[in-house]
Structure 1
Amino acid sequence: MNDHSSFYFQSYEQWHHAITVRCKINLTAEYARTRINALSDPTELHTQEFAAKYGDAYLKQVVAWFTRAEQSA
């Protein structure tokens, strides 16, 4: 198994900065909820690709970060 951890965001702050500043996405509660729903759907192709590329643990971490963003929006 390859260690891609250097490509992963290590904290909510890093992830939030990438979404809002680098990607210029308005991280609203509605947007976060949409992403949570998509990333929680194992039949969604992009979710399957994300899990295959980054692993289930990181997928769960990203869902948790979107949940945190939704709650603080």
Structure 2
Amino acid sequence: MSTALIPNSYEEWRHCITVICGEELTPSYIEERIKALNSPKDYMTKKFVDLYGEQQRLKTLEWFAKAKNKL
């Protein structure tokens, strides 16, 4: 497992969400996050892009979609 603060892979991202943050990847949580990350007007999405960049937002959307498909 990488010690990077920003996940570089689905596995790192999933570990960050489920273990470090303690979030359960439920269908409703995943849908909520996908909706927010697709909304340029969402305050937290704006902050996310300011901090991590557009490419990370797109990767994160892919990871949420993968998690949704694995349910």
Q: Which runs of 5+ in 1 are unaligned?
A: 1-5
What TM-score do you get using the length of structure 1 for normalisation?
Answer: 0.86
Q: Which has the higher contact order (CA 8 A, sep 6+)?
A: 1
What TM-score do you get using the length of structure 2 for normalisation?
Answer: 0.88
Aligned CA-pair RMSD:
1.0
Contact 1:29 1:71 in 2 (8 A): no
Q: Which runs of 5+ in 2 are unaligned?
A: none
Runs (4+) of structure 1 moved beyond 3 Å? none
- Secondary structure, aligned partner of 1:70: helix
Contact 1:42 1:48 in 2 (8 A): yes
Identity %: 35
